[in-house]
Amino acid sequence: MSDKPESNDTDPQDPRILIPGSEINPRREFLRSAALFTGTVAALGGGLEILTRRPGAGSAEAQGTDFVRPARLLGPYDTKEAVTPYQQATTYNNFYELGTDKADPARNAGSLKPRPWTVKIDGEVKKPQTVDIDTLQSWFPLEDRIYRMRCVEGWSMVMPWLGFPLAGLIRRLEPTSKAKYVQFTALLDPKQLPGQRSNVLDWPYVEGLRLDEALHPLTIMAVGLHGKVLPGQNGAPLRLVVPWKYGFKSIKSIVKITLTEKQPQTTWMSAAPSEYGFYANVNPAVPHPRWSQATERRIGELGRRKTLPFNGYADEVAGLYKGMDLRKNF
């Protein structure tokens, strides 16, 4: 042990390792530098990639079977805009129960088992019941609906859903005179939905609509997408689709539908009350507190589009909100 503050020959952490002897071997010196250079490049470059790179999900194999259904006709509510390809629609999802990254739901959807599946219907209805998903589906003829879908984060898609109007289901259950709202509850099962092990939101996910919104002919319960059975990452086996509202209103993997007298407290309202309101109608004039809602990126396009009031469905739904201050009821 010397007291000299000199670097020594044995400390591998010291890049100035002293080479014993009076002559430096230039060839060995070059090789040593080259090896250290390469190692350092790999270590720093690799470390940065691990910390920051999150590649998108690979190609999603279309799962499930095709629905047998009549040749499609454009219905009155269908948009003629280009449909978002299946690959993008099924690998770029917000479904926090399957992970918070956009690619997570497609990767983790294998753990979600859409059969057997029952839906409990209760609250202010004359015919409360628990019904199997296949039975529920058999009550209504399936319809194609090509809808725009606008996420609160500022991106949008065009989705060819398969489903049935929610109005038919609600009428079948015969709401009582007290029913003013519909509350939807998603599956709570950390085994099937591993994202529920993290408390990024309060589980289960809860959403709600005013009864007249739920009865509106645009509002559907979807069981399919692109002519195929709904994939897990898109909310199998049963999800809500409310095309004039931000995407988070269209709750996925529903296990319970409750008609209520009071306005339901939804998951995102609890998470950030100043940012996510009960109505959440798509509105370019009302910015999210932290970002603008004036424009959106349609997935697959490089430029941005102007966001339309009520996501382009103003003619159909603006009447529902007559006399309401949509800045206050955001």
Partner 1 sequence: MSTGDARPGTPVAKTTPANRSYRPRRKAASTGWLVPAITVGGLLPVAVLIWDAFTEALGANPIQRATLQTGLLTLTLLVASLACTPLRLLTGWTWPARIRKALGLLAFGYAVLHFLIYLFDHGFSLSVMFEDVLKRPFVTVGFTSLLLLLPLALTSGKNAVRKLGFQTWTRLHQLVYLAVALGALHYYWGVKKDHVPPLIYVGVIAALFALRFVRRRPPRKKVSPL
Total residues at the site for partner 1 (CB under 8 A)? 67
Distance in Å, CB of 94 to partner 1, minimum: 9
Subset of 58-87 contacting partner 1 (CB under 8 A): none
Subset of 102-121 contacting partner 1 (CB under 8 A): 102-103
Distance in Å, CB of 240 to partner 1, minimum: 20
Instruction: Report the C-alpha gap between 111 and 109 in whole angstroms.
Output: 5
Looking at the Cβ atoms of 94 and 185, the one nearer to partner 1 is: 94
DSSP 182-237: EEEEE---TTT-GGGGS-SSPSSPEEEEEHHHHHSTT-EEEEEETTEEPPGGGTTT
Residue 141-170 contact track with partner 1, rule CB under 8 A, x = bound? -----------xx-x---------------
Distance in Å, CB of 147 to partner 1, minimum: 17
Residue keyed to tokens 């739904």:
317
Q: For residue 183, give every residue at least 6 positions away whose Cβ sits within 8 Å of its Cβ, in sequence order, or none.
A: 123, 206, 207, 208, 256, 257, 258, 259, 260, 264
The region of 88-96, 237-245, 277-285, 311-319 touching partner 1 under the rule CB under 8 A is: 88-96
291 contributes a contact to partner 1 by CB under 8 A:
yes
Looking at the Cβ atoms of 46 and 217, the one nearer to partner 1 is: 46
For partner 1, the binding residue among 67, 75, 82, 88 (CB under 8 A) is: 88
Instruction: Report whether 106 contacts 93 (CB < 8 A).
Output: yes
Is 252 within any annotated ligand binding site? Answer: yes
22 contributes a contact to partner 1 by CB under 8 A:
yes
Instruction: Report whether 95 contacts 105 (CB < 8 A).
Output: yes
Q: For residue 236, give every residue at least 6 positions away whose Cβ sits within 8 Å of its Cβ, in sequence order, or none.
A: 109, 112, 114, 229, 230, 252, 253
Looking at the Cβ atoms of 124 and 296, the one nearer to partner 1 is: 296
128 contributes a contact to partner 1 by CB under 8 A:
no
